[in-house]
Structure formats: C-alpha cells, structure tokens
Structure 1
Amino acid sequence: MAVYQLFYYPGNASWAPHMLLEEIGTAFELILVDRKSEQQKSPEYLKLNPTGRIPTLADHDQIIVESAAICLHLCDKHPKSKLMPDIGDPDRARFYQWLFYLTTTLQAELMLYFYPDKHTLLQDTAAAIASAQEARITDMFAYLDDSLKGRDFLIGDRISVCDFFLFMLSHWASEFARPPLSFEHLGRYLKALAQRPAIRKACETEGTSLTAYQ
C-alpha cells in the first residue's frame, strides 16, 4: 500500500520529489494533475492545495505543498536515506545554502524566463524579458559549473536533495543557446546523475528522454 500520494505533472516542479521518492525506495502513488486542462485550478484540487500549484504531497492525513518543503519532509521521514546532511554536520549549512539558491534564486529566475508575459503590462516586451533572463540564468549555470569543479555532488561525497533539484532545473534550460550540458563540470555532473536508477525510473515514468545525457 502506498505511503504517499504525489500529485504531479510530467516535467513540472513535482519532478524533484518524484526522483527523491524513487531514490528513497518507499511506496508511493502518482496522481496526475492535468495542467493542459488547468486541473490544478479545479475546485477539487484547490481544496487540497489552495495555491493551485503543483506538486502536492499527501502523507496520510497531512498535506504538504511546495516542492522543496515536500523534499525536506521526506528527508525527515526517511533519515536513513541520508539525502540531507545530519544536524551538526558542517555540510548542513551548505545544504541549506544550495537548496535555497536553487529554489528561490535559480528556479524563480527560470519562471520569469518561461512566463515573461506575466511580468509586464507593456506590449512587445515579453521577448526582451526572456532574452535578458536567459543571459542572467546562463551566468548562474556558469557559477554552478565552477562550484562543481572536481566534485561529483553539490554537497559532500554523496547525493542530496540539492542534486535532484539541480538536475530538474538544468533540464528545464535544455533549449538555451548555451545549455547546462555544454558546461564542462556541470555537463559531466548531469550525465553522471542521469545514470542513477532513481532518476532513470522517474524519467521513464514521466516520459522524459535522457538521450542527450548519453
């Protein structure tokens, strides 16, 4: 019997917690929320998640929203998975630093890139906003590339929640003029992550091709 229900849409922000659930190896059920028909704005879904956003995690009677919060909740529920550093571990602070950078800086900038029309009242400015955003975000990937020099993971010597988030966000930027895979260290890192069984399983389920990571 599934312990968790993850309300998701393929390639959406639910992807990171989906990969994390596969890595933990716990029982879970995926429930599709069809964004194409705006099911996330339906009365039924809004009762579950009043923000009208994806993902949502149901843990028995407890409902958790926001992708990063879901992942931290899962880490707390499954401490043996070691997917975030323990309290007292010097890497704990770096974990927080990277998780917040990825979710409140890089992800937020990507949302502005993908939805520029929601951030202007002026006609014919959306394309200019998207172009400026791509340049800003490419600089962020350059920073991440430098941070991954000589490293297999963002924090310590084992995979953490941050790596799943970076994989997801990097994939979102695959169509950039300079995509994340084109960076020396970031590209190597992403290709290695793409070989992990948990990531491959989640991608197979969601219909996400990993051909570019071969």
Structure 2
Amino acid sequence: MYKLFYYPRNASWAPHMLLEEIGATYELVLVDRKSEEQKSSEYLKLNPTGRIPTLAYGDSVIFESAAICLHLCDEHPQSSVIPDIGDPSRPEFYQWLFYLTTSIQPELMLYFYPNKHTSSVDTAESISETQEKRITEMFGLVDKQLENKEFLIGNRLSVCDFFLFMLSHWASGFKTPPLSFEHLGRYLKDLAKRSSVKNVCEVEGTNLDAYTQTN
C-alpha cells in the first residue's frame, strides 16, 4: 500500500488526486506544516529536503510531486494518465508537465514567499506584485492552449491536468484568477466535476463552490 505524506492543498495535492483517479490503494499521513512537522528529524529521515509530499511504499521512498506522479504512471500503466511511448502527444505531455512544475510552480513560490529572496519588506511586496503579473501572463498562455480542448494534452485526462488544477487554485486570489479566463475557467470547472477531484477536495477540506458558479 502507498503512503502519501501530505498537507491539504500543498504540492501533495496533485499526487493525491492522481492516486484517487487511478484507483490505487493508499493511506494518507498528515504532515502538519503549522508545527513544521516536515522539518522534524523523523520526517527528514524520509525526505531530507524537509518538504511535502513524500510517497512511501514497501521499502521505497520517493519525494518531489512530479516524480511521484510519473512513478505512479509507470506502476499503473493501465490508468492511461500518460500518453504511451510512441504516441504523438507524449512529447507534448513532457513539455507541459515541465512547464507547469518547473516554470509556473516556482514562480508561484516566489509570489507566495518573496521574503525568502530579500530582507526588505518593501522589496518583498514589489516582488509579489511583479510575480502576479508574470504568472497571470503564463496562465494566459495556457488559456490559449485550452481553446476547443477538454484536457491539456490531446483528448484525454493526463497527470498534467491535476497539476494545472492545483496551480490554478493556488492562484485563485489573483486580481485576474485562472477561473476568469475563458478557456481555462471552463476547463477548471469541468475538472472540478470529476469524482477523483471532488473526493480529494472533500478529504482535504477544499471548497469547490467557485467552480460551480455560472457567469
């Protein structure tokens, strides 16, 4: 059985939704960020980076949310949440997975934690303002990609969709939130109807009311 060490709406969110989608047997282990449990000596034995999430199964342990998801794809190929080798959409899958996890996600981290990059309060506020504009432009690019499409990659659900849902929700407090984009907003509302997303959000205490509203 898999053990997912998680915290609600943290970077563990995408792996949690994926585990639910593929029907894997798993156990959730809460890592309390409020008390910095991820920095405890016990947790650091599992994940020396002191970050969430971590996936344990048998004698194996893996961290980094994208790595966890790709590993789950390898372990459950019947789930079809990654294009097959040789499928024309597989390169596009890697392209967007890395754009989401190595471009948009780090930019969001800088937006949320500017104080880690400067000792000046004024500079920190300026960083967040600049980051919001930059990330909004990035979501604009994704919005164009989703025109006339149900999913980000091809015509079927993939791991990328769970990451895009997670990152979009993180940016829900923006002046121009992802839900306000024409194509991205429609796409997010459709994803929010999936049982895997609803089940995970119920467990993690995430309110989906915003995704059910009509304009």
When normalised by structure 2's length, the TM-score is: 0.98
**Counterpart for residue 7 of structure 1:** 5
In structure 1, the residue corresponding to 2:55 is in which secondary structure?
A: strand
What code does the residue aligned with 1:145 have?
A: D
Displacement after TM superposition at 1:100 (Å): 0.2
In structure 2, the residue corresponding to 1:125 is in which secondary structure?
A: helix
Displacement after TM superposition at 1:59 (Å): 1.6
What code does the residue aligned with 1:46 have?
A: L
In structure 2, the residue corresponding to 1:150 is in which secondary structure?
A: coil
**Counterpart for residue 31 of structure 2:** 33
Size of the aligned set, in residue pairs, is 212
Instruction: Write the distance in 2 (CA, Å) between the matches of 1:59 and 1:140.
Output: 35
Instruction: Write the distance in 2 (CA, Å) between the matches of 1:20 and 1:162.
Output: 10
Instruction: Write the distance in 2 (CA, Å) between the matches of 1:58 and 1:154.
Output: 29
Unaligned runs of 5+ in 1: none
**Counterpart for residue 111 of structure 2:** 113
Within 5 Å, which residues of 2 pair with 1:19-168? 19-168=17-166
Instruction: Write the distance in 2 (CA, Å) between the matches of 1:43 and 1:182.
Output: 43
**Counterpart for residue 199 of structure 2:** 201
Aligned residues: percent identity?
71
**Counterpart for residue 189 of structure 1:** 187
Displacement after TM superposition at 1:121 (Å): 3.0
Instruction: Write the distance in 1 (CA, Å) between the matches of 2:18 and 2:187.
Output: 17
Instruction: Write the distance in 2 (CA, Å) between the matches of 1:203 and 1:6.
Output: 15
Instruction: Write the distance in 1 (CA, Å) between the matches of 2:55 and 2:24.
Output: 14
In structure 1, the residue corresponding to 2:28 is in which secondary structure?
A: strand
**CA offsets 1:116-135 (integer angstroms, 9 cap, x no match):** 00011334211100000000
Instruction: Write the distance in 1 (CA, Å) between the matches of 2:102 and 2:195.
Output: 28
Instruction: Write the distance in 1 (CA, Å) between the matches of 2:207 and 2:58.
Output: 32
**CA offsets 1:38-78 (integer angstroms, 9 cap, x no match):** 00000000001000000000021110100000000000000
Instruction: Write the distance in 1 (CA, Å) between the matches of 2:86 and 2:208.
Output: 37
Instruction: Write the distance in 1 (CA, Å) between the matches of 2:88 and 2:121.
Output: 49
Instruction: Write the distance in 1 (CA, Å) between the matches of 2:20 and 2:57.
Output: 16
Unaligned runs of 5+ in 2: none
**CA offsets 1:171-194 (integer angstroms, 9 cap, x no match):** 000000000000000000000000
When normalised by structure 1's length, the TM-score is: 0.98
In structure 2, the residue corresponding to 1:138 is in which secondary structure?
A: helix
